[in-house]
Amino acid sequence: KAPDLSSVNKVSSVFEDIEFCVMTGTGKYSKSELESRIAECGGSVVQNPGLDTYCVIVGTENVRVKNIIASNKYDVVRAEWILQCLQHKMLVPWQPAFMIHMSPDTKENFAREYDCYGDSYTADTDVAQLKEVFSRMKDNKMMLLEKIAELEERYSWNSCQLSIFRGNSIYVDFYAVVNEPGTKIHGTTLSIRALELRFYGAKVVPYLEEGVSHVIIGEDHSRVEEMKALRRTFGKKFKIVSELWVIQSVEEGVPKNENQYLI
Amino acid sequence: MEKTLNRIHPVSDPEATYFLQVSWEKDLGAGFGIILTDGQCAWTGTVSEADVSREAADMEMDRKKYVEELKKALIAGEESAGKYNFAVSRDKENMECHFSYEKNLKDGSFRLGCLKLHKVSSPADVVKELIGYCLDCLGRLQAKNEHLQKENERLFSNWSDAKKRLEKCVEAKEELEADLYNRFVLVLNEKKAKIRNLQRLLNEAEESAADA
């Protein structure tokens, strides 16, 4: 089923003396379209990859493509690469984003230039490239808030307005019984304060334990004495502040001094 | 026309209960009508605008202030109970009735006003009217209460809905941030690993150069 490419008009010699094997087309360009575009630019096309094949071109992945990948002998490249070569009328260097699979040799070459996520060691990146690198990362672990706080500290991003409460571990007094999250009082403004705290970087905790930095109190002061008693037993003392601390810190975009809001 | 109905206990007979209805147009200062009843007999009378001015002048009191006092005495009801005294004195045939109202002070009291009320020929009609007025008020309040309750429910449900949406936004922000930071750190650490590797190669090269 090799196409007859003898009649194509040569328009450039970008692919002069290069042999390709096009496996599948893309939604926009069929396999035969891609093949004739390659031929127009001086390239040759084979139906099965062989020793002289430069690379395998793939639009959409299928079983045959998977077998080629499994053989680990060929570089399998996205059809987008061919299209970019045609657009720029040059042999665009391979970038990690183009590679569906790499032969061991190519892999080694890439490892000198790019990290395992495809980010260059030497070339500057930009928003689009970094987005692309991020999108190809399969490791979807979430970073813990404590780690984020450390990282922001390290790179001085902690003055960011979205990080007003970063690094703080905060207990909000909206449980009818202290330390019993099952007794949450619904419909109070404190639940909005808790969301604000989280939005601006705090860790909101359901238990008043050692390590808590602040306790936020609303209009109801009935549990304050109990919390103060609990505080006497703690090594690290937490601050008991009114919800106004949250409101005004958010309004002004900076963490306000707690001393004005102590209860 | 506005009206209020209050319960009063005359100083002369604190056990007795009278119902006092005061009706006026816009402001008490422009004069008002009074209906007083003990449930069996009823008396009525009016105080004109001129009467109000005269009383204020007699007392050498600012008219505005005097009207304020009148309001507290005759309209405010329960909350001013005890601060004002009422005196009711009826003649034998119940034909006439002297009604006076005074402000209670620490040392005695001073009279805000007094008037002669005339007996109403059909007290039943007056009582009927008063009960009717009460029922109307009750109905209006009930309707208002229902409306407010519905409004409150609507506001609360809107509030919870907005809160849920805000919660989703906060969660999405937290997740996005944690995810992006995670990816950022992975890429960053790859760069650091590369730097370490280059440092190692440099040290090795220096060592072999020193050896040579």
Here the tokens at position A235 are: 């090594």
* Predicted confidence (pLDDT) at residue A26 exceeds the cutoff of 90: no
Q: Chain A within 8 Å of B154 (Cβ-Cβ)?
A: no
Q: How confident is the model at residue B77 (pLDDT cuts 50, 70, 90)?
A: low
d(CA B46, CA B116): 9
| Cβ A20 vs Cβ A44: under 8 Å | yes
- Phi, psi dihedrals of residue A54, rounded to the nearest 5°: -70, -50
Q: Using one digit for the tens of pLDDT, what is the confidence trace for B134-188? A: 999 999 999 999 999 999 999 999 999 999 999 999 999 999 999 999 999 999 9
* Predicted confidence (pLDDT) at residue A39 exceeds the cutoff of 60: yes
| CA–CA min distance A217, chain B (Å) | 19
**Nearest CB to B190; choose among A116, A134, A187:** A116
Q: How confident is the model at residue A229 (pLDDT cuts 50, 70, 90)?
A: very high
| CA–CA min distance A242, chain B (Å) | 21
d(CA B9, CA A91): 106
Report which of A104, A77, A102, A105 is spatially closest to residue A15, judged by C-alpha positions: A77
d(CA B175, CA A176): 29
d(CA A70, CA A54): 17
- B146 φψ region: left (φ > 0), alpha (ψ -120 to 50), beta (else): alpha
Question: Using the 8-state DSSP alphabet, how is residue B80 labeled?
Answer: G
Greatest alpha-carbon pair distance for chain A in Å reads: 92
Q: Using one digit for the tens of pLDDT, what is the confidence trace for B101-120? A: 888 888 878 888 888 899 98
Q: Using one digit for the tens of pLDDT, what is the confidence trace for B81-98? A: 678 888 888 877 777 888
* Predicted confidence (pLDDT) at residue B131 exceeds the cutoff of 60: yes
Question: Using the 8-state DSSP alphabet, how is residue B73 labeled?
Answer: H
Is residue B133 packed enough to be buried (19+ CB in 10 Å), middle (13-18) or exposed (0-12)? Answer: middle
pLDDT of residue B109: 80
pLDDT of residue A203: 94
Give the CA distances from residue A263 to residues A210, A230, B143, in Å, rounded to whole numbers and listed in that order: 19, 15, 43
Q: Using one digit for the tens of pLDDT, what is the confidence trace for A80-121? A: 999 999 888 888 889 888 999 999 999 888 888 888 888 989
Report which of B79, B85, B80 is spatially closest to residue B9, judged by C-alpha positions: B85
Q: How confident is the model at residue A246 (pLDDT cuts 50, 70, 90)?
A: very high
Partner-chain contact B191 A143, CB within 8 Å? no
pLDDT of residue B79: 65
pLDDT of residue A139: 67
pLDDT of residue A233: 94
Instruction: Give me the residues paired with residue A152 across strands.
Output: none
Please indicate whether residue B125 or residue A158 has the higher confidence score (pLDDT): B125
- B5 φψ region: left (φ > 0), alpha (ψ -120 to 50), beta (else): beta
Q: Chain A within 8 Å of B175 (Cβ-Cβ)?
A: yes
d(CA B15, CA B91): 19
Here the tokens at position A112 are: 């000198």
- Which residues lie closer than 8 Å to A239 by C-beta, 6 or more apart? A213, A214, A215, A258, A262
Q: Using one digit for the tens of pLDDT, what is the confidence trace for B11-66? A: 888 888 999 999 999 888 899 999 999 988 999 999 999 999 998 898 888 999 99
Name the packing angle between helices B123-211 and A127-135 (round to 10°): 90
pLDDT of residue B192: 94
**Nearest CB to A117; choose among B163, B166, B190:** B190
Partner-chain contact A137 B177, CB within 8 Å? no
Residues from chain A that touch B181, judged by Cβ atoms under 8 A, are 143, 147-148, 151
Please indicate whether residue B24 or residue A140 has the higher confidence score (pLDDT): B24
This model of the complex carries an ipTM of: 0.73
Q: How confident is the model at residue B80 (pLDDT cuts 50, 70, 90)?
A: low
pLDDT of residue A3: 66
Residues from chain B that touch A174, judged by Cβ atoms under 8 A, are none
* Predicted confidence (pLDDT) at residue A159 exceeds the cutoff of 90: no
pLDDT of residue A28: 87
Instruction: Give me the residues paired with residue A215 across strands.
Output: A171, A240
| CA–CA min distance B178, chain A (Å) | 5
* Predicted confidence (pLDDT) at residue B132 exceeds the cutoff of 70: yes
d(CA B20, CA A53): 110
**What is the number of other CB atoms lying within 10 angstroms of the CB of residue A130?**
15
Helix (H, G, I), strand (E, B) or coil at A171: strand
d(CA B101, CA B80): 13
- Portion of chain A with pLDDT greater than 90, in percent: 56
pTM listed for this prediction: 0.70
Q: Chain A within 8 Å of B173 (Cβ-Cβ)?
A: yes
| Cβ A208 vs Cβ A215: under 8 Å | yes
d(CA A221, CA A225): 8
Residues from chain B that touch A131, judged by Cβ atoms under 8 A, are none
